[in-house]
């Protein structure tokens, strides 16, 4: 007889109060696949806290218990105003729990999902989150699940990064056969593509995606279009986003504080430091369904580069460029044109001689001018319809 599997349910608020007598006024505020979060009052210090509890099923799983314990240990190493703080960790009646800072506000997902926000607000927010993650990175911790739902914002638009459930020590590599967790659309390609590797640049990729989403109200698509081609924003944000979400980690910002520094420059009206790249398409592996047969590459507006011809010869300054399909006129074409001209001259001569024979002496008389003057070419042009110029092709229309 097999034992009945444990239900993947969360305890009620009444159960939490009975399991944890040091807390009262317990109220369920959020649920997820692994657990639930409750708001409660810590009686001894009379302060509001958040209590995260694993579900019954996850509490029975060794893997999820290890993940939960790792989250608590990671949070204990953090000390930054924009990273959630931990107060306690333990187990009660077989359920694992974490007591942590309660942030009064909403997640970015609830506050801005599907909406674009003011560019300066988006830049300031991502700059603050980048500095907070830089502090975590300097402590050897990777978040690995940066997304709108894991960033809480208070009434003063002050962000706090939460949910370090997928956090990873930066000096630990992903083991063969280990389950790789992440959120589609925000997770860096190297995290979900064998041989599975991640460092702080994986968090930077997620920050770049989040910045693009805040600026435009949508995730980056494939073929990639920079923010300024979708909404009216400073083109400098194009360079920042493209550098943050480049498929190759080596082409991204190497440190989160560098991303924050560039955002602060834009906010201060300063120029960005010149950098090579990024005139290549940025295609996320999960976006291939929307790639057309001939991908269109859109990059940040820059002065048109001088293209050197393949044969190494520079064309004369005043010479118009030739189309790729143009060719020199062949000899057969030239002979055909000459034959047509000869026939035309012959026919013209015959017509003239025939006319002179039929008209006789009358051809010597002068033709009397018409009493009505002929309209000039300019007058005729007034009644002519000029061709109209249609709208130019833009990245959006493509």
Catalytic site residues? 145
Backbone angles phi, psi at 287, to 5 degrees: -110, 10
Nearest to 153 by CA among 96, 84, 89, 201: 84
Task: Annotate 84-106 with b (16+ C-beta within 10 A) or e (fewer).
Answer: bebbebeeeeebbbbbbbbbebe
- What whole-number distance in Å separates Cα of residue 299 and Cα of residue 284? 16
Q: Is 93 left (phi over 0), alpha (psi -120 to 50) or beta?
A: left
Instruction: Give the side-chain half-sphere CA count within 13 A for 318.
Output: 0
Q: Rg of the chain over CA atoms, in angstroms?
A: 36
């Amino acid at each position: 007889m097999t034992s009945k599997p444990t239900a993947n349910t969360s305890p009620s608020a009444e159960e939490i109060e009975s399991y944890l007598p040091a807390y009262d006024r317990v109220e369920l505020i959020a649920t997820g696949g692994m657990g639930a979060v409750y708001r409660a009052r810590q009686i001894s210090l009379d302060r509001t806290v958040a209590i995260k509890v694993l579900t019954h099923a996850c509490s029975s799983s060794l893997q999820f218990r290890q993940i939960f314990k790792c989250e608590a240990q990671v949070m204990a190493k953090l000390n930054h105003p924009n990273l959630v703080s931990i107060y306690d960790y333990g187990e009660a009646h077989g359920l694992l729990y974490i007591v942590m800072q309660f942030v009064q506000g909403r997640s970015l997902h609830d506050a801005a999902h599907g909406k674009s926000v003011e560019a300066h607000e988006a830049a300031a927010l991502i700059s603050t989150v980048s500095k907070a993650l830089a502090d975590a990175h300097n402590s050897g911790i990777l978040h690995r699940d940066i997304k709108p739902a894991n960033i809480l914002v208070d009434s003063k638009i002050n962000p706090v990064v939460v949910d370090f459930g997928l956090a990873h020590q930066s000096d630990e590599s992903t083991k063969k056969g280990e389950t790789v967790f992440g959120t589609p659309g925000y997770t860096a390609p190297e995290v979900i593509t064998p041989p599975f590797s991640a460092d702080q640049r994986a968090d930077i990729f997620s920050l770049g995606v989040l910045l693009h989403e805040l600026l435009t109200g949508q995730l980056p698509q494939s073929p990639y279009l920079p923010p300024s081609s979708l909404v009216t924003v400073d083109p400098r944000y194009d360079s920042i986003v493209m550098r943050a979400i480049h498929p190759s980690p080596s082409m991204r910002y190497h440190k989160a504080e560098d991303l924050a520094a560039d955002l602060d420059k834009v906010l201060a009206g300063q120029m960005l430091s010149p950098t090579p790249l990024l005139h290549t398409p940025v295609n996320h592996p999960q976006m291939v369904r929307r790639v057309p047969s001939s991908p269109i590459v859109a990059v940040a507006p820059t002065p048109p580069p001088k293209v050197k011809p393949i044969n190494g010869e520079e064309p004369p300054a005043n010479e118009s460029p030739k189309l790729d399909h143009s060719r020199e006129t062949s000899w057969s074409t030239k002979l055909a044109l000459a034959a047509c001209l000869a026939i035309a001259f012959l026919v013209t001569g015959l017509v003239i001689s025939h006319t002179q024979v039929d008209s006789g002496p009358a051809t010597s008389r002068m033709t009397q001018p018409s009493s009505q003057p002929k309209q000039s070419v300019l007058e005729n042009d007034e009644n002519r319809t000029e061709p109209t110029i249609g709208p130019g092709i833009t990245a959006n229309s493509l």
